[in-house]
Amino acid sequence: MKNFNFQNPTKIIFGKGEIAKLSDEIPSNAKVLILYGGGSIKKNGIYEQVIKALEKHHVIEFGGIPPNPEYKVLIEALTIIKRENIDFLLAVGGGSVIDGTKFLSSAALYEGAEPWDILTSRKPTLKGMPFGTVLTLPATGSEMNSGAVITKAETQEKLGMGGPGLFPQFSILDPQVVQSIPERQIANGLADAFTHVLEQYVTYPIDAYIQDRFAEGILQSLIEVAPQVMANTNNYEAAANFMWCCTMALNGLIQKGVPTDWAIHAIGHELTALYGIDHARTLAIITESHYTYNFEAKKEKLAQLAERVFKIAKGNTDEKAKAAIKAISDFFQSIGIDTKLSDYTPNYQNTAQEIEQRFNDRGWIGIGEHGKLTPSDVKTIVEMSY
Amino acid sequence: MKNFNFQNPTKIIFGKGEIAKLSDEIPSNAKVLILYGGGSIKKNGIYEQVIKALEKHHVIEFGGIPPNPEYKVLIEALTIIKRENIDFLLAVGGGSVIDGTKFLSSAALYEGAEPWDILTSRKPTLKGMPFGTVLTLPATGSEMNSGAVITKAETQEKLGMGGPGLFPQFSILDPQVVQSIPERQIANGLADAFTHVLEQYVTYPIDAYIQDRFAEGILQSLIEVAPQVMANTNNYEAAANFMWCCTMALNGLIQKGVPTDWAIHAIGHELTALYGIDHARTLAIITESHYTYNFEAKKEKLAQLAERVFKIAKGNTDEKAKAAIKAISDFFQSIGIDTKLSDYTPNYQNTAQEIEQRFNDRGWIGIGEHGKLTPSDVKTIVEMSY
């Protein structure tokens, strides 16, 4: 096991009807900016619950944060934060709204001239403006971690940021929000959480017993809950398990003391930037080819995954590992998620070269758990995903 | 799944050589009281590491906190805290030293006349004096939770306390400390952590997938690591897994959203108070008879435990559940822990009546996950453990 630090101060308030507790969590004298996305919260009743809970607070709102939170839109929100002397941010939404709010939390206290530098400088944010979240879409885990990914449409860039100052002070997780989520986004959430766990698990053995068992436990739970929640979003117990799985998949716990990969995300982000493919689906596109291309480096953990999660008892290490790769793709397909780039765009032919070029341009040296994958490796992985 | 709140702000600093980082975690102008137990830290090198790390801090020390931290001894430490204007506490020890430090953290800011009232009043401590820990004995999980158990020898009482103000600010977990722990205490740590998980798992099914999988994962990890760490405390990887298992077994995570029992602890504490039997061993004494007596209420989860942890595939629910009870006792015995009260004291004959009386005297109404076990039930459970 590697040495590690672990600290996650976010307060989780989980369960039916908990949005009503919002007012206890925000200082009564705070000037609050409520941030949300495309307005679905105004159709499903969540907006009313939030406004009612905060009826005694001074609130202003800012809607329209798009999926893959866009820098230009966030800068408009930043202007309001400064103009209105906002001192508390409340994200009401999914990963994009929460990630956008994290950027704003950092940018609100940033002293540089150009807030985009927060992303390019790669310096962790040590202190941000306080913020909380009301999660409306289980998927990214952003509600209980301190990371965010922000998009700049102008340059087709998608970059990460984070730091110990960017944990939500609280996150309210009411599984009833799942009722009104479209099937496509439920599937995305399942695939996103599933891949988050894979990125922290399918590397090489390092004798970290609990981390492995916990990762396997989340994967097993997602596999078990997927058909239930896909079949009926009104199944509260299924929704609750789905929601808690997504949070636990990326709240920092299972990655402590072990190697992590994140190459699938690094490559997948490019597919979203280039074609606007849903984030979760880009992960499903890359996973099989990444694991096939890096088979030798990953086969021990893939075989363990086959045995413990997919209950594949037969075969040697290579055979089990291959069966695990197939079982992962089968899982994605079972929830209606296609796993080849050509399923999403007819114009995929130059994608590999283009992504290679983008990796080269950014001066990235190596990705993956060994930090050894080159832009040329990435090119091959993307080609294999056509 | 039940509604729940979860927040655990403790910073874990885990790994080889991490004690050296102590000085970064305590304000440089703090006046620190270092608290420890019987002095083993002066033989195994941990004391020197702590003193060296804090060479630039103003430190005072207080040793001699006994196992089952004794109120009278703690009151002596409290006198020093007040007299010397201490403002930061550092526990260097196992669960007893850390629990004692939590009491002192609360008592140092307590405004009542009699600090014992903190325990009898059952009011949560909202704010305590800041403290950190250097863990020397994996077992209780106290290093990452906000609870403590304090003993008053005078009245043979052992009572619990806690609250959100009693999380350690940080805990340093260096698995190398395991090297010098006697076999008896390694076994105690394994049994203690194992029973902590059982108390949060062997109740009734509530469809909390991850909580179950995580609990099972900790149990599996403990079963796997037990023979390794019992055979060789110099096995760093085994020590690291043992240590992280003990912390995760009682840091609040696996109990969220599910019913919990804690009857084994409630009864076991009485055996320690009466006979001074090691805490972990009292749990091993009570577990089998408690699960046998409450078989109908617990058999579904016991059967799931049999299947998922002990890999018992044969039999119906009753048969699997019985096999699980036997497998638990076998696990305790495999690490040299006897499971009957008569193994520990020749004078056990009146124990059941005595404990029934103590439960009656304290006015406790019901324990267990249903809150329905009466003092008379407790009497039978203790009798069955003779």
The domain ranges of chain A are 11-176, 182-384
What stretches of chain A adopt beta strand conformation (E)? Answer: 4-14, 31-35, 58-62, 88-93, 131-135, 147-152, 157-162, 170-173
By C-alpha distance, the chain A residue nearest B7 is A11
Name which of B143, B213, B247 to mutate to probe chain A: the one with the most chain A Cβ atoms within 10 A of its Cβ: B213
Q: Work out whether the CA dihedral A36, A40, A43, A46 comes out positive or negative.
A: negative
| Lateral strand order in the sheet of A131-135 | A58-62, A31-35, A88-93, A131-135, A170-173, A4-14, B4-14, B170-173, B131-135, B88-93, B31-35, B58-62
Q: Map tokens 């045995």 to a residue.
A: A307
CA distance A291 to chain B (A): 25
CB contact under 8 A, A257 and B237: no
The mean pLDDT of A376-384, rounded to a whole number, is: 98
Q: What is the pLDDT of residue A157?
A: 82
| Neighboring chain A residues of B18 at a CB cutoff of 8 Å | 3
CB contact under 8 A, B16 and A7: no
By C-alpha distance, the chain A residue nearest B3 is A15
CB contact under 8 A, A213 and B217: yes
CA distance linking residue B306 with residue B189, whole number of Å: 22
DSSP letter at B123? P
Convert B266-288 to b/e letters by CB count within 10 Å (16 or more is b).
Answer: bbbbbbbbbeebbbbbbbbbbbb
Low-confidence ranges of chain B (pLDDT < 70): none
| Per-residue confidence band for A68, with pLDDT thresholds at 50, 70 and 90 | confident
CB B62 within 8 A of CB B35: yes
CA distance linking residue A24 with residue B41, whole number of Å: 44
CATH architecture assignment, domain B182-384: Up-down Bundle (1.20)
pLDDT at A158 over 90: no
| Neighboring chain A residues of B13 at a CB cutoff of 8 Å | 5
By C-alpha distance, the chain A residue nearest B254 is A214
| Per-residue confidence band for A128, with pLDDT thresholds at 50, 70 and 90 | very high
CB contact under 8 A, A209 and B225: yes
Same fold for the pair A11-176 and A182-384: no
Question: Strand A157-162 to strand B4-14: parallel, antiparallel, or no bridges (unpaired)?
Answer: unpaired
The mean pLDDT of A97-106, rounded to a whole number, is: 98
| Per-residue confidence band for A156, with pLDDT thresholds at 50, 70 and 90 | confident
CA distance linking residue A272 with residue A279, whole number of Å: 6
pLDDT at A292 over 80: yes
SS3 B34: strand
Q: Which two tokens stand for residue B238?
A: 């085994």
Convert B145-177 to b/e letters by CB count within 10 Å (16 or more is b).
Answer: bbbbbbbbeeeebbbebbbbbbbbbbbbbbbbb
* Phi, psi for residue B347 in degrees, rounded to 5: -105, 50
| Whether the complex's predicted ipTM surpasses the cut of 0.85 | yes
Name which of B210, B219, B311 to mutate to probe chain A: the one with the most chain A Cβ atoms within 10 A of its Cβ: B210
CA distance linking residue B45 with residue B134, whole number of Å: 13
CA Rg value for chain B: 20
Q: What is the pLDDT of residue B224?
A: 98
CA distance linking residue A278 with residue A294, whole number of Å: 24
Q: Which two tokens stand for residue B173?
A: 């977990």
CB A145 within 8 A of CB A81: no
Closest residue by Cα to residue B281 from B194, B368, B180, B379: B194
CB contact under 8 A, A6 and B9: no
Model confidence pLDDT, tens digit, residues B152-183: 988 878 889 999 999 999 999 999 999 999 99
The mean pLDDT of A258-262, rounded to a whole number, is: 98
Q: Cβ neighbours of residue A189 under 8 Å, at least 6 residues apart?
A: A137, A138, A139, A181, A242, A246, A280
| Neighboring chain B residues of A12 at a CB cutoff of 8 Å | 4-7, 256
User: What does pLDDT average to over chain A?
Assistant: 96
Q: Which CATH class is domain A11-176?
A: alpha beta
DSSP letter at A18? G
SS3 B86: coil
CB contact under 8 A, A4 and B12: yes
DSSP string, A107-168: HHT--SS-TTHHHHS-PPPS----EEEEE-S-SS-GGGSSEEEEEEGGGTEEEEEE-GGGS-
CA distances from B244 to A42, B139, B218, B259 (A): 44, 10, 9, 23
Q: Is B70 on the interface with A (CB under 8 A)?
A: no
CA distances from B327 to A319, B18, B321, B339, B383 (A): 33, 37, 10, 12, 21
Question: CA-based angle A62:A68:A72, to the nearest 5?
Answer: 55
CB contact under 8 A, A207 and B237: yes
HSE-CB at B363 with a 13 A cutoff on CA atoms is 1
Model confidence pLDDT, tens digit, residues A302-347: 999 999 999 999 999 999 999 999 999 999 999 999 999 999 999 9
